[in-house]
Amino acid sequence: MSVSFHINNHSVEIGSSSFLHAFFSTISFHLEQSNKPANSWGSKYPELMNELYQGKLSASKATKVLNDVFEIRKKLKKYPPKDIIWDIKDLKKHPPWGNNISAHIKDLSNYFVTSDGKDLFEVLIDCLNRLKKSNSDLIIE
C-alpha cells in the first residue's frame, strides 16, 4: 500500500509504508541512538520522528522540522548505502531490492527515492516549505 504526504490540496506519493518506515528507522538508528540506548526513537528529532511519523505535523512546527531535515540529510552523507536500516525493530530485514540500487546513490542522504523518482528529502523539504506558508497540517496517509 502506498503512502503520500498531503497539505491542503497538494499531495505527493512517497511509496510503500515499509519504505517510509525505513527512512525513519535509518534516521533513528544512525542519528538518535547516540543520545540514548535502544528505544531512542524521537529523542533528538521529536517533531519529525514522533509527530510526523504518527501521521500529522502542524504548520507551527514546520520551521523546526525543516531545520532538522537539513541537519539529518547532511549527517546521513557519512553513511554508505549498505548502512540502510529497513526496520529498526528487526535489523535482519533488508530492502526488497537488496543491494541492487542505482549507481547515483552514493550514501544515505540520497538513498531514499519516491515511487515516482523524486529524492525524498527534496519532497519533504518542499512539503515543509508549503506547510510554513499554510495554516494547515502535513498529513501522511
Alpha-carbon distance of 101 to 34, in angstroms, equals 28
CA 114 to chain centre: 11
Alpha carbons 132 and 130: distance in angstroms, whole number: 5
At residue 79, the pLDDT reads 97
| Number of folded domains that form the chain | 1
Positive or negative torsion for Cα 5, 85, 32, 72: negative
Predicted TM-score of the model (pTM): 0.92
* Residue 73, burial from CB neighbour count under 10 angstroms (0-12, 13-18, 19+): buried
Has residue 36 got a pLDDT over 60? no
What residues make up the domain containing 128? 2-140
The length of the chain is: 141
Query: What is the reported pLDDT for 39?
Result: 65
43 or 66: which carries more pLDDT confidence? 66
Residues 130, 7: Cα–Cα separation, whole Å: 8
Band (95; pLDDT cuts 50, 70, 90): confident
Report pLDDT for 14. Answer: 96
